[in-house]
Structure 1
Amino acid sequence: MSGIYAGARPSRSEDLLARFPVVLALFDGAGGRMLLHRPGLPVEEAPPVPVVYQYLKALAHSAVAVHEIALRDDADSAAPAGFADTVEQGLTTLPDLSLDPQAAGAATAVLAAVRAFLSTPRTPGSATTEELEDFGRSCSPHVVTLMEKAAAVQVTHWMSVLDQWHILLGPSGFDSVHAAVNTLYVTRRKNILFTVLAQYLGEQAIGDRLLLFETPEFTTTPEQMLDLMTRVVADRDLGRAFFGHGQVMDVEILGDAAVHAIRTRMRQRGKTPVLPTLAPYDSHQWPWPTDPSSGSAPADLYTATALHQPRPPAD
């Protein structure tokens, strides 16, 4: 099965790209990438997020480095001195970024706080919890300001791109867009690219045409994303044929059988199983579909199969 299945995917990808516009949104440290595949046309990659986003984000994150440096007990490490030099350079060159006054003020405050902490004599690794918390409190309002500025740049950019693609595809074309976003665990629930795309594709696309793929890495490739989207869409044909609903195959197919086994074994042990509530397969909740009333389809493999009875024999 695996060999046959893998061999069929290239033609499935070609079929997907021939039928639908596909948007791939990939995380990276520069604010993300978005690529648009249109049937019969070369792939189009959107311009990158303006570089000021990276500066704002780096300035905000500089305070995080202090926390890590303060906990190190490696007296021979050159990291503190090297980072102190970087902070001094940042303070000197900050005017070159031409930030607005609020962002410039927040950046100056964060870098000054970092410099003050690093210049305080202390034994490596001896910073107390109270010192670190006081430092965090002094930085946090300014870090929040910098992150707000960075997010505004990022969101404005991607919404402008999607405005243009909406015009390019037209309403009917955009209504058939299939989109996928990759996410690491920490960015799953508040994924920026996914949330921006949801504003354009709508709630009804979530879990149907708008997919969130969790990975163990911050970055992945467009080819891997497209391959995974192809697998999901192709498996929906299998789900409809075998179980009566396409999205049965969107989740671990053995999951419902395993839940049944867990319930049975926990009952034998006189214990209450720890299990989530089940949402219907057509639920558009995200990031976790758990509301039983959020759709009209079956919520588990057993219900779907019971409804998907063989057709009566022809007369």
Structure 2
Amino acid sequence: MLLRYLLITTCCLAAAADPLLEIDAAFHRAYAEARAGALARQGPVLVVSGDSLQLYRGGTLAAEAVIRPPRYHRLKGLSHVPLAIRLAAGDRGRLASLRENLAALEPGTDGVRAPSLAFLDGALARGEVSGLDAYCAAMRGPLEALAREAAALELEAMEREVRAWRRDLLAADWDRVRVVVIGSHMAREGEVGWQFFTRLLGEAREGGRLVFAEEKWDPREALKLLATHMVDGDLGRAFFGDPDRMHRDVLAPGARIWLDSHPLPR
């Protein structure tokens, strides 16, 4: 009796299934398969990820190089000194700790150490922080100089490695190479690797040979995003005559039309 009830219930549920839900499920299955196929077929991929530049073939790491030398990290650490002072301005203990570590560094010509020590010494001697905004403004030039040198170091290393790989590993495949730049949300605009490859490939738009993988620090997820761009590019080209169409919210044009005809009160 129970078995008969279950069979009848199953048949009724199947008969009552929404065919549109079935179609939607079929689309998602086909989309996942298409993305997996694109990932398997794609040519060489260069991935810019933090300190390293990586070369993938068939989803497998084939080569890797460091693009941020030790000097880069020293510059980064020095640039964090004024930022740390501003953020710790209300905590005497943290300021004292910063002062101790800063004093332990070898004197340099970076323009940060000496004025920062002087500022901390004054704040600790008085028992209060004053002139913080003036100190921060004075650090603008040294911070920009550190950033320029750090960018140059990274770009020089990247150019050197890409030139060698292009000659030794990618001579026959260069026109098929795609690039994924992994980065954070706040550093997306003007990211160093992105600037480098937009100029090298002559392709500023995202979704063709160049993709920005925001916060996808696992290279496997970054490669999956690249495959998503490839599948969406084909769909956008086929249905809308625009390979970038699916890289934007599909509802965006309709939303603009509605908002234009329904002014919102302010």
State the TM-score, normalized to the length of structure 2: 0.78
Q: Are the structure 2 counterparts of residues 244 and 48 from structure 1 closer, same or farther at C-alpha, using a change threshold of 3 Å?
A: closer
| Inter-partner Cα distance in structure 1 for 2:41 and 2:187 | 31
- Which residue pairs with 2:4 in the alignment? none
User: Is 2:104 the counterpart of 1:89?
Assistant: yes
Q: 1:122 to 1:255 in 2, by over 3 A?
A: farther
Distance 2:156 2:250 in 1: 39
Determine if contact 1:162/1:200 at 8 Å carries over to the other structure: no
Shift of 1:246: 2.8
Change (3 A) 1:133 1:270: closer
Residue 95 (structure 2) pairs with residue 80 (structure 1): yes
State the partner residue of 1:140. Answer: 140
How far apart are residue 83 of structure 1 and its match?
1.4
Is 1:43 the equivalent of 2:62?
Answer: yes
> 2 CA distance for matches of 1:168 and 1:47?
17
Asked if the contact 1:238–1:249 (Cα under 8 Å) also holds between the matched residues in 2, the reply is: yes
Q: Quote the Cα distance in structure 1 between the aligned partners of 2:262 and 2:168.
A: 56
Deviates more, 1:40-49 or 1:238-247: 40-49
The aligned counterpart of 1:160 is 160
240 and 206 in structure 1: CA distance in 2 versus 1, 3 angstrom threshold: closer
- Superposition deviation, residue 232 in structure 1: 0.9
Q: Which residue of 2 aligns with 1:114?
A: 116
1:234 partnered with 2:231: yes
Structure 1 SS opposite 2:173 = helix
Q: Is the 8 A contact 1:36 1:45 kept in 2?
A: yes
Aligned length: 238
Note the residue ranges of structure 2 that are not aligned, 5 or more in a row: 1-23
**Equivalent residues of 1:236, 1:246 under 8 A apart:** yes
- Structure 2 match to 1:289: none
* Residues 1:182 and 1:259: Cα distance change in structure 2 (over 3 Å): farther
Q: 1:263-303 deviations in whole A, cap 9, x for unaligned?
A: 1212xx699xxxxxxxxxxxxxxxxxxxxxxxxxxxxxxxx
Report the secondary structure of 2:250's partner residue. coil
Percent identity, aligned pairs only, is 25
Q: Is the 8 A contact 1:174 1:201 kept in 2?
A: no
1:170 Cα deviation after fit: 5.0
Give 1:220's aligned residue: 217
2:121 maps to a residue whose letter is S
Letter in 2 for 1:247: D
Q: Indicate the SS of the match to 1:185.
A: coil
CA distance in 2, matches of 1:245, 1:134: 51
* Equivalent-residue separation in structure 2 for 1:35 and 1:132 (angstroms): 42
The residue aligned with 1:59 is 78
Distance 1:262 1:183 in 2: 33
Report the 3-state secondary structure (helix = DSSP H, G, I; strand = E; otherwise coil) of the residue aligned with 2:253. Answer: helix
Measured in 1, the distance between the counterparts of 2:241 and 2:199 equals: 30
- The DSSP-based 3-state class of the residue aligned with 1:199 is helix
What corresponds to 1:198 in structure 2? 198
Which protein shows a greater Rg? 2
Whose RCO is larger (CA < 8 A, sep 6+)?
2
1:68 paired to 2:87: yes
- 2:254 matched to 1:252? no
